[in-house]
Structure 1
Amino acid sequence: MIQLNKIEIKKDIYWVGGIDWQIRNFHGYSTNRGTTYNAYLIIDKKITLVDTVKHYLFDEMLSRIKEIIDPSKIDYIVSNHVEMDHSGSIIKILEYCPNATVITSTRGEKGLKRHYKKDLKFKVVKSGDTLNIGKRILNFVEIPMIHWPDSMVTYIPSDKLLLPNDAFGQHIASSERFDKDFDWGILKEEAAKYYANIVMPYGSQVEKALDVIGKLDIDMIAPSHGIIWQSLIPNILKEYKKWANNQTEKKALIIYDSMWGSTEKIAYLLQEGIEETDIPVTLRNIKNTHISDIITDVLTSKMILIGSPTLNNTMLPSVGGFLTYLKGLRPKDRIGFVFGSYGWGGQAVGEIEKILKDLSWDMPIESINLNYIPDKDELMNVKNVGKKLVKYLKEN
């Protein structure tokens, strides 16, 4: 077995996770920087492993553990979240420590049983419960729907350490473990992408969790993906508060696909109209930009313009797929606008309008839906509509 260096993040607390250098698609969202699956080993009177790794990185986790202790000495395995990128090696590690107790929430127990069909030795905990492991007492707080019903965090007061599983995570593969070794811009970008594509629907739950976390004495946040927060904790907490509150910036995002170029002409004229003001605007062609990157733009953009031509009496499949994804993530408090083109029928614009209205977006200006190839006057009007949208954005 390969020998891997142990990484001590606090006195007698070690990172023993796995680095996934190759992954570029994480259940539908692009992970261009790879990711890590972070697990943590606590050496105390009762040796405790907090979370595990995706099944194919088990050997890497095991090697790191063996650098520190004989894995048969593990007494507890804390499962903060049953999703298989974190629980996927529980059954395998239990082969080395068959007497270990799995600590999880009520829903975590149900989820682990459904996933692995094994009769494990469970200890179920709820918010406010503690576990004495020797010099340390572990505190548990349930954070349902951040981002599954079973989710919880583990807090170690004596070490001022929060182990929040997916919360505050980022998909970054790196041999560096701490935020001090990374540019804040990269960390913010990846944390925003993670929040936008995984956590965004649960803003109210995030707000409640932040209220609880804000009362804890913390100097390290060690999530289950990416980099460990230490020097930049105030930064990431500030961003999470903004995202949870649906705080956006006064900027525009144009999202579209085109078939014969007419819808693209409209998109570019809208962009020109907006650019002639002092409002930032971003243009995203769905053909060329992964939807998870577009959703990251949605997270911070107040005004969203979406365009599609009509094909077979409906919108283009690429736009339909994006809107299905958008509906699930439920971004709130946006200004919406729809545009498109058609040869006959023209149903795409109306269908997109319905989706945005179902999201309760503000739709202040009548949509644009142009037949075949737009003429000069129509294109001039499109540009003026861009300016009208900016005026409304500034006033609201």
Structure 2
Amino acid sequence: MDKNVPHIPVGTLRSFMKDVLLALGVPPDDAETCVDVIITSDLRGIESHGIGRLKYYYDRIKAGQHKVVTEIEVIREGPTTAVLDGHHGMGMVVAHKAMQMAIDKARTYGMGSVAVRNSTHFGIAGYYPLMAIREGMIGMAFTNARPATAPTFGVQPMLGTNPIAFGAPTDEECPFLYDGSTPISQRGKIEIKVREEKPIPSGWVIDQNNQPITDPNQVMTGLDKGLAAFLPLGGEGETLAGYKGYGLGTMVEILSASLQGGAFMYGLTGIAPDSSKQPFKLGHFFMAIDIEQFCPVDEFKRTTGEILRELRASTKAPGQTRIYTAGEKEYEKEKIIRRDGVPIIPNLQKEIKFLQSELGLSQYDFPF
């Protein structure tokens, strides 16, 4: 815990974020859903998608890119599948409904899959597999995003950061939860570096000459102008298998766009032909698998737990004291955040004070 940075209690931040969304016109139940997704990111120590994204949503709502009242339309539906249109409402609300539909279908038929079009940013992808895990199921979530990642041997940002999230219950307190973007990094981490006024590592982002960029402000400007691009997982070229990250990002694009006939890549910029701002038209894909349809859930949890324990018990590299499995660090971080509160660095304090002032939320007495 950094004693030089104020830590705000989780309950206080949750209330503040809900009041911000209510003041913007988001209905109470929808605001609660949005806040639950956002605070889950903070709880798990994922600063890129927590309270640090609140002004991001404020700006998009003010620009008309996110509608505060979310109207979800069922376009097609079968016993195990559905296609939803989010009509540019709050992405967390659309995604929550889609994942719940997938879970409900899986409970009846063993598997459920739901594709979504015309949505907006839905927070951390890992939130939605956690919904399935609580029901004793496997959960998966995918989403496309505005262009940010270059294809292997390319320099133009084409694919989004296109995360993959997969979660499964185990016989331990901590479930297995993988949640990661398909390029080396993602916009949220660049936003953190901008706030912290720190450079990014060489090898994350390239310019149009295939040279590394380490200035986070240059990266943010370059991404929007098509002058900077993330490298896919594996990095540049084929030596370290960058084509694998490129292939995974393309897979997410197909799941998130092709199944629901939605927008993709440069159709997701949020910029209209006349250069005005427009909705982002994001697509998502969710899947839930009822474990009991394959084997007893307790047997599945035990086997999965054994897999994770054997991985953690394997031989460590020199100088290393511990091997983690996916979701373990975040699970442990949540205990600390619940105890100590969420750290708010100076530039994030400015955003919170701005929102507080603009929306008349004087009832909050933050220590900054």
Q: Which TM bucket (shorter chain)?
A: under 0.3
Question: Relative CO higher for 1 or 2, CA cutoff 8 Å, sep ≥ 6?
Answer: 2
- Give the structure with higher Rg (CA): 1
TM-score by length of 2: 0.21
TM-score by length of 1: 0.20
